[in-house]
Structure 1
Amino acid sequence: MNYLTLAEQVIQGRTLSNDEALYILNSPDDELLLLLHGAFKIRKHYYGKKVKLNMIINTKSGLCPENCGYCSQSSISEAPIEKYRLLDKESIIKGAEQAYRLHAGTYCIVASGRGPSNKEVDNIAEAVTEIKERFGLKICACLGILKDGQAEKLKTAGVERYNHNINTSKEHHENITTSHTYENRIETIQKVKASGISPCSGVIIGMKETLQDVVNMAFALKELDADSIPVNFLHAIDGTPLQGTDELNPRYCLKVLALFRFINPSKEIRISGGREVNLRTLQPLGLYAANSIFVGDYLTTAGQETTEDHNMLKDLGFEVEFHQPKEELKFTV
């Protein structure tokens, strides 16, 4: 396959066929650099050499009634994680200050659970309003399945983006969780879009899905028109049903990132959870397809030292995309 020619056609509006998508995932390792060159042609067309940084705060940990097989916070997990209810406003704002210091343009407020109560939405909305006034960061919320009216309340407070991953393909969903449906997830994404909030939805790769499942995920997100697509690679945690699952290698992970770029050419593709343990020494190559990463820690697992992430971007010759507020900020001590 001529990946550069394919990239040019994608930029001009062509959509990959299912066979072309499967070929990318099945492509010989000897073609990997050629594939990434094609993916980078598309990435550079839309984003240049800029990289968006994101930082997560886990505002509520554990205590989740859902039975998602990958998650250490689920009701069926035996993983020894810290459990706590929703953090207070001051703690959420302090996390935003750290995100600002790290030049993370997007601050992701995440809470475990099936979905937030109205009181939790009110508390988060209050914190978001102050964060927007003080730091000017883009705010992404990830709070689970939303009830009617909650998306509008978050929008009014200043939330620009809402994350609710499809996680896997429709066909594989029941193998991962049965406490909610694939359609429940789609409904929340549609509610978010209807409220005027930018939809963020992504996947977890490495959960015993087929190559066709991965292709179906990429096309499903294209159909949903998700603005931001986090691509997670399973970091199987002891105590979860998927413990011991180890299907991934760095080369395959790079092919997945390239596939998502070819199918969703103009969208933010973010390398998310599992980056360090699955891409390992090939992490820098991922940014030839993706244009966004998380810095700092994830929900219940540690990330790479932030200085290493910044050094990686500098060594690549890439530029952090960060819009600094005009007024001088006063930090807490």
Structure 2
Amino acid sequence: MTEFFQSFGLSYEAAWFIATIAGILLIALPVMLAVAYIIYFDRKVIAAISLRRGPNVVGPFGLLQSFADGLKVFLQETIIPSSANKGLFLLAPIITFTVALMAWAVIPFSPEMVLADINVGLLYVLAISSLGVYGVVISGWASNSKYPFFSAMRAAAQMISYEVSIGFVLICVVLFAGTFNLNGIIEAQRGHGLGFVNAYGFNLLLFPMWVVFFISSLAETARAPFDLTEAESELVAGYQTEYSSMSFALFWLGEYANILLMCALNVILFWGGWLPPFDWEPLYAVPGIIWLFLKMFLTFFLFSWIWATVPRYRYDQLMRLGWKIFLPLSLLFVVLTSGWVMYTKVGL
């Protein structure tokens, strides 16, 4: 893209700057549009499982419902509690939303379609996603209210607990792929499963790690059955209790952007990313971005299905699962995976 803008007579620095801004917009705007429609899809799936119709009035088949909801919150008044720390109160949703978009910079939509194809892409995603807790913690503290503060403490403990397991799962993937580059991890999955499936998910050592990663993704994004940060029964609405208007909407946009990111990571790390499901030449005629979106769509369907069918955990159950089951299990598989890789020289 830089060469394209240089063709208009711009210097390399100016062309690079404009190309970078254009690349950011080409990722951020579709992600925000996708958030609107996955909220609609989420509500439709949950409604279908509950034998209801879901959004069906605003626009054809209710497709404009999310935009109507967005317009509604945009036109509402932003109310700031008198005892809140106003600066931090307004900064918290901005941090949540901004951090949720930053991680998309290294996500490869196809071999060439990635904003920053860096060698440490996986470490970048892990670092950026860890920053999301700050928005929640700051919002809970700045509200100067009891229930949001309880929720912020829950969120911090929950995210730290499951990020530890996610880190060990990522080590297993990196051991097989031999790289932290996300495109490299996808390429390493070509024909890996059973000799013809483009996925790590069919590897007996990595499939249990995908299960751990998927469940940890639910906990990391505070998705049901791990939505203890906003449990209505004891926390009213958690860290969002005191928020209204666009400040509330930014939390929702950030939350669903993070869910989309976790769907993308599930697909990229374990199910071949932009590769077709099978290593069969005619399937490569379909653009990689379509395969990526189809796999993300199926992963998000699992997110919605679980929300509609699995009851919420108690907080002690949540902590026990993270520290007493997932952490020892992921550590064990790091040992098994590293031993297997050293024995077979895979990824070395």
Q: Same fold (TM over 0.5)?
A: no
Select the structure that is richer in helix: 2
Q: Please say which structure displays the higher CA radius of gyration.
A: 2
Select the structure that is richer in strand: 1
